Amino acid sequence: MNYFDQKNDTICALSTASGMGAIAVIRISGAAAFEITNRIFTKNIAEVPSHSAHFGRIKNAAGEIIDEVLLTVLKEGRSFTGENTVEIACHGSTYIQQQILQLLLTSGCRMAQPGEFTMRAFLNGKMDLSQAEAVADLISSESKKAHEIAMNQMRGGFSSELNDLREKLIHFASLVELELDFAEEDVEFADRTELKALVSEVLAYIQRLMKSFELGNAIKNGVPVAIVGAPNTGKSTLLNQLLGEERAIVSNIAGTTRDVIEETLNIEGIIFRLIDTAGIREGAEAIEAIGIEKSKQKIDQAQLVVLMSDYSENESHHEGHSTMSTDETVVWAKQLQQIYPTKKFIVLANKMDMRPSANTLEEDDNLKILAISAKKGLGIEEFKKWLVDQIQAGFDVSQETIVTNVRHVEALEKAAFSLQQAKDGLVTQVTGDFIAMDIRQAMFHLGSITGSISTDDLLGNIFAKFCIGK
Q: Which residues contribute to the site for a copy of itself (CB under 8 A)? A: 13-25, 27, 51-55, 64-65, 67-68, 70, 72, 74, 80, 87, 89, 91-99, 101-102, 111, 117, 135, 138-144, 146-148, 151, 154-155, 253-258, 467-470
Minimal distance, residue 89 CB to a copy of itself, in Å: 7
Q: Which is nearer to a copy of itself, 116 or 438 (CB)?
A: 116
Q: Which is nearer to a copy of itself, 56 or 279 (CB)?
A: 56
Q: Which is nearer to a copy of itself, 15 or 418 (CB)?
A: 15
Q: Which is nearer to a copy of itself, 60 or 174 (CB)?
A: 60
Q: Which is nearer to a copy of itself, 111 or 367 (CB)?
A: 111
Q: Which is nearer to a copy of itself, 87 or 310 (CB)?
A: 87
Instruction: Give how far Cα 156 sits from Cα of 2, 149, 152, 162, 390, Å.
Output: 28, 11, 7, 10, 28
Minimal distance, residue 127 CB to a copy of itself, in Å: 11
Strands 223-229 and 65-74 turn out to be unpaired
Q: Which is nearer to a copy of itself, 185 or 258 (CB)?
A: 258
Q: Which is nearer to a copy of itself, 150 or 203 (CB)?
A: 150
Minimal distance, residue 141 CB to a copy of itself, in Å: 5
Minimal distance, residue 243 CB to a copy of itself, in Å: 18
Minimal distance, residue 275 CB to a copy of itself, in Å: 22
Minimal distance, residue 218 CB to a copy of itself, in Å: 16
Minimal distance, residue 308 CB to a copy of itself, in Å: 31
Minimal distance, residue 307 CB to a copy of itself, in Å: 32
CB atoms within 10 A of CB 391: 21
CB atoms within 10 A of CB 282: 10
Minimal distance, residue 98 CB to a copy of itself, in Å: 5
Instruction: Give how far Cα 165 sits from Cα of 23, 204, 363, 439, 468, Å.
Output: 45, 11, 45, 11, 34
Question: What single-letter amino acid sits at 454?
Answer: S
Q: Which is nearer to a copy of itself, 101 or 388 (CB)?
A: 101
- Spatial separation of the C-alpha atoms in residues 248 and 18, rounded to whole Å: 26
Write the secondary structure of 398-444 as one string of H (helix), E (strand) and C (coil): CCCCCCCCHHHHHHHHHHHHHHHHHHHHHHCCCCHHHHHHHHHHHHH
